[in-house]
Amino acid sequence: MLLFDDFKSWKKHCETTQEPLFQPVMTYEIQQKGRTETEIWDGMLRAYTVMREAVQTGLTEDMTSRSGMVNNGGKKVFNSPVTILSPEFKKLISRALAAKEVNSCMGRIVAAPTAGASGILPGVLVTLQELHDLPDRKILEGLLVSAGIALIVERNASLAGAVGGCQAETGSAAAMGSGAVVYCLGGNIDQVFSAVAITLQCMLGLVCDPVAGLVEVPCIVRNASAAAIAYSSAQIALAGVPTVIPVDECVMAMGEIGESMETRYKETAMGGLAATPTGQQIAKRVLIQDIEVLPDEMS
């Protein structure tokens, strides 16, 4: 059975068995976790349903966070009279923002792969389905493919901002989204994996520097930019432009960069945007200051 150790063996498996990319992901879950096929389809449908709801909620309900840093950004973009690129692009951006804002405002989302990156797949997939009129089943297959991508990234790099910086969270989610887009539009294996590789190349090095330690700034806007990069990489890969550096090596590069990243760039809110004067001011305002401090324990 395929264990999702790397992309190379995933490709080899599908070439030998002629299975579509999502099939070994399904088999993996059945054999490793004892789930049935029906449970897996149902679970993926539930995840996609929650993603769709998050987009909807973020675009219709009030999205303001306790800290004041989130204030209905998704809705503002959606309703903006200025269309810079295309109405579709505007929708993509507003949806990714909206779903992530739901998360920052204590609403329900799917951590895919993490809560910090929870706007990317909803933005990417809801827009893809609408534009290309795809059946739900196709999107669910795409979700399985993106789960396979995440398994490999988790194994050889990381999916957690605290371990690998923001490249590991929003970068991985963008790679998952990009691969799913190319898969759903009928790209071949090389094109799907190129989309993943190119996306990673665009997201490498991104540090995790959330202001006040809250998953709001810059996380929310990064969900939008990651969704955009997922699409630009998919466009490049579907045209057959090669990645040059193979996808497995891109994942290794991400792992290497993550390892050498200083801790102040790993969710500690001690570097980058969190450490700016304004960032620190906000932290002072939103973090609770009224704390009873116990004396040090004498041993």
Give the nearest distance from C-beta 30 to other proteins in angstroms.
10
Residue 198, Ramachandran bin (φ over 0: left; ψ between -120 and 50: alpha; else beta): alpha
Residues 125 and 139 sit within 8 Å (Cβ to Cβ): yes
Q: Which residues contact 60 (CB under 8 A, 6 or more apart)?
A: 75
Please provide residue 291's backbone torsions phi and psi, each rounded to the nearest 5 degrees: -120, 130
Among ligand SF4, other proteins, none, what binds residue 213 when CB lies within 5 to 8 Å by partner kind?
A: other proteins
Give the nearest distance from C-beta 90 to ligand SF4 in angstroms.
22
Q: Which position among 111, 185, 204, 273 is part of the footprint of other proteins (CB under 8 A)?
A: 111
* Beta pairing partners, 208: 266
Q: Which residues contact 288 (CB under 8 A, 6 or more apart)?
A: none
Amino acid in the structure at residue 151 = L
Amino acid in the structure at residue 123 = G
Stretch that binds other proteins, among 29-37, 191-199, 229-237, 253-261 (CB under 8 A): 29-37
Give the nearest distance from C-beta 222 to ligand SF4 in angstroms.
6
Q: How far apart are CA 47 and CA 171, in angstroms?
A: 20
Q: Which of 257, 198, 191 has its CA nearest to residue 230?
A: 198
- Owner of token pair 């999702």: 4
Q: Which residues bind ligand SF4 (CB under 6 A)?
A: 116-117, 161, 166, 169-170, 208-210, 215, 218-219, 222, 267
Q: Which position among 2, 21, 40, 126 is part of the footprint of other proteins (CB under 8 A)?
A: 40
Among other proteins, ligand SF4, none, what binds residue 166 when CB lies within 5 to 8 Å by partner kind?
A: ligand SF4
- Using CB under 8 A as the binding rule, whether residue 124 contacts other proteins is answered as no
Q: Within positions 153 to 192, which residues make up the interface with other proteins, using CB under 8 A? A: 154, 159, 176
- Using CB under 8 A as the binding rule, whether residue 293 contacts other proteins is answered as yes
Q: How far apart are CA 215 and CA 267, in angstroms?
A: 9
Among ligand SF4, other proteins, none, what binds residue 2 when CB lies within 5 to 8 Å by partner kind?
A: none
Binding site residues, other proteins, CB under 8 A: 3, 25, 28-29, 32-33, 40, 43-44, 46-47, 50, 66-67, 103-113, 115-116, 121, 143-144, 146-148, 150-151, 154, 159, 176, 212-216, 286-288, 290-297
